[in-house]
A and B are shown apart, each in its own frame.
Chain A
Amino acid sequence: MLKDFFLLAARSITHRKMRSWLTVIGVFIGITAVVALISIGLGLERTIEEQVAKVFGVDTFMIMHEDTFGPQRHGGDPDEFTLDLAFLRSIDGVKVAAAVRERTGFIQGPPGNDGVSTQGFLPVMGLSPEMRTEFESFFGTLEVQAGGRLFGEGEELVAILGDEVVERLHASVGDTLVIAGDTDAELSFTIVGVLAPSEEDESDGGGFSGGMGPSQDTIYIPFETMDLLWGPAEDVLITLVRTEPGKDVDEVADRAEKALKARGSEVTAVTYTDITDTIGTMTSTISAFLAGIAGISLLVGGVGVMNTMFTSVLERTKEIGVMKAVGAKNSHVLTIFLIESGLMGLVGGIVGTLFGLGLSAVASSFIGRFFNVDLIVVASPTLIIITLLGSFFLGAFAGLWPARRAAKLPVVDALRYE
């Protein structure tokens, strides 16, 4: 019987083509806007997740100061945590741990031909060798010019200089420079390499690392050596930990966090899931907010369906009387009219979904080009199914009032209607 009601409703819609299409357009505009915005939001979320996974790695977690999200300097406050990389490496499940810290040091370059050396304050970055060998995607590629080399594990008094530093200090590979930190120590370092110019120097210094990547105005020395100049690591920019294969990264992160806290460090471990969850919540909230605004146009579409259905009920009053005279129950009439309005919503939903996905693909391409990323276009089956069901129910809901009015029409009055 329901199938017959669908056919009756469909015939009524196709019989009044122009009016039906105009009503459908009202729904389709709203659906297009909602689908496009949600789809772009989902694409953005997926793209960010993939980027994070690519740069960060799903088997990696960060150690950060508590209540902090994102790498930042911890200024040496006594309350800040002191990082003990050796201890971190000893925790079960940890394969590699690497960190970066940065301070400004007083630098004395090698003496020139006239016996005078250039002096000044310059940024000094302490870098675990693993940061470039294991977390290159995060830190950026560290390459030295021909004739030089990178420093390795166990080395202490070696330095790699940025191109700009070399120019300022008139230094070259094999020369010695002196760095003075906060402690009384003044240490002499052998320059083992000069940074090769990279494409990133021309931009912002390195994608996801937020400026921590190789920089030509910085002096790079081994991470542990920083202790000798500035004391224990209270100013860590970022600590990255990779877990052993097969280990649950969340479990290891949890264990590391607890162990470090037990030693008095105010730290938190942030995993890939934590980051993507936070990003997901942010993008979902923004998407939901924008879709909510677009939903207002859906409301207007719904009012359009209601208006059309009221007109339809009025025009077909006699038809309703005839249906009742030949045995239709009130519920039959109600169902037929609800299906009719629901179908108009559904057609609007189908057309709107197609347009919405198309719009999202075009918009993603534009946004991607603008931000220089490949934005993923998401045509989620769940989104499509929910949209189509939702548009049918939107139509049916909008038609509820007119349909009830049709169902309740007294049969004699309906038959007498002219």
Chain B
Amino acid sequence: MPLLDLKGITKEYKLGKTIVRALRGLDLNIEEGEIIAIMGPSGSGKSTLMHILGALDTPTGGTAILDGQDLQQLKERQLVTLRGKRIGFVFQTFNLIQTLSAQQNVELPMIFQGIRKGERARRAKELLSKVGLADRVRHRPNELSGGERQRVAIARALANDPEIILADEPTGNLDSESGAPILALLKKLSTDDGRTVIIVTHDPDATAIADRIVRLRDGCVVEEVRNA
């Protein structure tokens, strides 16, 4: 059974009086431990798909099953738990909280899960060390480079040990030199830890680390390519 099973997913938005159909009957299966690169032009529905995969949004139609659970049937409280414990997000613009240090940013998801301070600090340092920022724990985001910020964001995504990592254009704001270690890190999360990594990207380099490349156009999957 796939970890994520999407069937006939539709998503419609109202923009003023216009109804925008972002997803139009999308079908997609994602296996556990897989790295998937979702590609497509602007407006193809990549971000909307990511929001649905990440339990940030619910589809208008179709079924989205995560590990046997129908996401549409879950209550807000259950979706919050899902986001907090089973899914980790990495954003294009890093989205770190500027008033907090690197360590505190990593601790943030753990605070919402009620994990004690000592345990949080230990785990945050361990994760920052894992992403190569052991010497940057007390630095604030504005004291870090773009690549370092994204590594903090990855460490934050791993805070509650989720099974799925959703990365939205993780190298979109980085040059290729800074982007390569980020992609390598995401690859490691799958190969070493067995996590499922879903990357929404325009970056051709990102496709190189993916097990499978899914191309979207007009809210539908138009191509699926498995890397050798």
| Residues in chain A within 8 A of chain B (CB atoms) | 1, 4-5, 8, 11-12, 14-15, 318-319, 321-330, 332, 411-412, 415
Contact = CB atoms under 8 A, between A and B. Distances in A.
- Interface size classification for chain B: 20 to 34
Contacts of B57: 411-412
B131 interface: no
19 contacts: A1-B112, A8-B111, A11-B99, A12-B99, A14-B99, A15-B99, A323-B108, A323-B112, A325-B54, A326-B84, A327-B109, A327-B112, A327-B113, A328-B84, A329-B80, A329-B112, A332-B112, A412-B57, A415-B91
Contacts, number: 62
A323 B97 CA distance: 9
Interface in B90-135: 91, 95, 97-100, 108-109, 111-114, 117
A328 to B, nearest CB: 5
Interface string B31-55: 0000000000000000000010010
Contacts of B14: none
B109 A326 contact: yes
Given A326-B83, A327-B83, A412-B57, A4 B111 contact: yes
A327 B76 CA distance: 11
Contacts of A330: 76
B24 interface: no
B160 interface: yes
Contacts of B84: 326-328
B112 A411 contact: no
Contacts of B113: 327
A412 B51 contact: yes
A232 to B, nearest CB: 85
A15 B98 contact: yes
Contacts of A322: 91, 95, 97
A318 B91 CA distance: 12
B89 A11 contact: no
A325 B83 contact: yes
Contacts of B98: 15
Given A327-B84, A327-B112, A327-B160, 19 more contacts: A4-B111, A5-B111, A11-B100, A14-B99, A15-B98, A322-B91, A324-B83, A325-B83, A325-B89, A326-B84, A326-B112, A326-B159, A327-B83, A327-B113, A328-B80, A329-B112, A332-B112, A411-B57, A415-B56
Contacts of B85: 327
Contacts of A8: 100, 111
